[in-house]
Structure 1
Amino acid sequence: MSDKIINKRDLNRVFRRGIAMQFSWNYERMQALGYCWTILPVLKKLYKGNPDGLKKAVVRNLEFFNTHPFMAMPIMGTSLAMEEKVAEGGDIDGTSISAIKVAMMGPFAGIGDSFFWFTLFPVCAGIGVSLSKGGSVLGPLAFLVLFNIFNLGTRYFGLKYGYKFGNEFIEKISGGAMMQRLSEGTTLVGLMVLGVMTATMVTVPLDFVIGEGEQAMSLKLIFDGIMPNIVPLLLTLGVYKLIKKGMSTTAVLFSVIGIAILGAVIGLF
């Protein structure tokens, strides 16, 4: 890394700051503020003397971000390698960095949840509980030590090798059309994930019944007969349109809550 702007000291600083990344979690952009704060010292170093470049880097790293907190470091390492190329005037642009983050955060969240919460945590807790049966203080200590070996190890080596392999990856694909194709591909994957989440996670219980007896049908069945899950789709597109027009996500959230309460009172939902 000696010929690079980012050195080992910079990565170690990102690692330490990354432990506190979740402290600023919010419902609007989730981990975005913590993500940007974690890498901000490196961004300032990369864009020293280039305030416009720094401003653009901060803005794109404040975009929506959410993944398993232990798995965020490999993504940070890769995106920092790409930021370094942008700062050096390389053949990539800021939209590619955003696209890579979007493409990586979903799969890494799944890996982190399945490994840390559903596999490692029960195993370490089981070892700790078994040691605690006799009243030994080694139980909780063993749990904390074992779990955090994997926790901190994943963060540290994920950041280190994310940056290292990110540089090698960029060198292989820069200078041609591959970066553009990769950016378009990752954007497409992100849109597909958004579509799946809309169909499976957004529900609008239109239970209001039209007709009587055997002819009675709920509004949900009527709309689903036109196109399955059309109402969640329209709701998602409506929220997107409002946000694009400048309405804050908090205002949109409370508006949806108000509509839900009103619909429940009048029997629509």
Structure 2
Amino acid sequence: MSENNIITKKDLNRVFRRAFGMQFSWNYERMQALGYCWTILPTLKKLYKDDPEGLKHAVNRNLEFFNTHPYMALPIFGVSLAMEEKMVQGGEVDGHAISSIKVAMMGPLAGIGDSFFWFTLFPVCAGIGVSLSQGGSILGPLAFLVLFNIFNLGTRYFGLIYGYKFGGSFIEKISGGSVMQRLSEGTTLVGLMVLGVMTASMVSVPLDFVVGEGEQALTLQGIFDGIMPNLIPLLLTLGVYKVIKKGMSTTAVLFIVIGLAILGAMIGLW
């Protein structure tokens, strides 16, 4: 940490410790957002100690939707804190850029975390532990815990430290001109692309209702797919987004969608 930094090594160590509780609070509307904000809240209070209004905006910004692999969240903490610090110091960073960077990072890091920790490292460490446990040796579970957590804790800690260092140096390099604006626009575009892919692949509205008879019979699904593939999932997603923006709670939207699904199934619509 340089002398110009407001955030110290002690602050980052505190973020590292608090990050273990990031998933203590989790909901379907904003996923890990509350835990994310709670993790960095003491650091935000330090950054904005002379700016109550700035702290309010920072808290609201860090309560936005967030979801990634918990072990891979620390690099995002580091980068976003570096950007918050630069904004406090008058750098060419704004709140929209901070939010966009978080959105752009959380998807790829979630994929890396899932594939590495759950599908590669966990089976390997478990296999070593099981082989050592044969015959009743206590070394099996101990070896599993030690090996797995070397990578777990190392990824968390060094991800936070280097995320913060990378975030600071990266911002210094791109400051000036319209680079930050283009970066913000680019990350926003990536986020929208991810949302489009998720809508097409994860939202399913199979309209099996048949229109016509005999060889001329067509399902509603086929008709709408002929106009535009996955048109109904897109319209449903946009409709949900619109009613939530108008103030309806996500819980109410969830029950409405469940009710429509049951009703549609009963009348043979899907």
- Report matched runs for 1:249-264 at 5 Å: 249-264=250-265
Amino acid aligned to 1:186: T
> Partner residue of 1:194?
195
Shift of 1:79: 0.1
> Partner residue of 2:41?
40
1:244-264: per-residue Cα shift (whole Å, max 9, x none)? 111111111111111111111
**Structure 1: how far apart are the matches of 2:2 and 2:145?**
36
Shift of 1:210: 1.6
Shift of 1:212: 2.2
> Partner residue of 2:105?
104
> Partner residue of 1:10?
11
Q: How many residues align?
A: 269
Shift of 1:119: 0.6
**Structure 2: how far apart are the matches of 1:109 and 1:192?**
16
What TM-score, normalized to structure 1? 0.98
**Structure 2: how far apart are the matches of 1:5 and 1:202?**
44
Amino acid aligned to 2:223: I
**Structure 2: how far apart are the matches of 1:255 and 1:85?**
44
> Partner residue of 1:83?
84
Shift of 1:2: 3.7
> Partner residue of 1:118?
119
RMSD after superposition? 0.8
> Partner residue of 1:132?
133
Identity of aligned residues (%): 83
Unaligned runs of 5+ in 2: none
Partner SS state of residue 24, structure 2: helix
What TM-score, normalized to structure 2? 0.98
Partner SS state of residue 93, structure 2: coil
1:150-208: per-residue Cα shift (whole Å, max 9, x none)? 00100000000000010000000112210000000000111111111111111001111
- Which shows bigger deviation, 202-211 or 74-83? 202-211
**Structure 2: how far apart are the matches of 1:89 and 1:205?**
52
Poorly superposed stretches of 4+, deviation over 4 Å: none
> Partner residue of 1:54?
55
1:98-142: per-residue Cα shift (whole Å, max 9, x none)? 000000001101111111111101100100111111111111111
Unaligned runs of 5+ in 1: none
**Structure 2: how far apart are the matches of 1:122 and 1:182?**
38
Shift of 1:87: 1.4
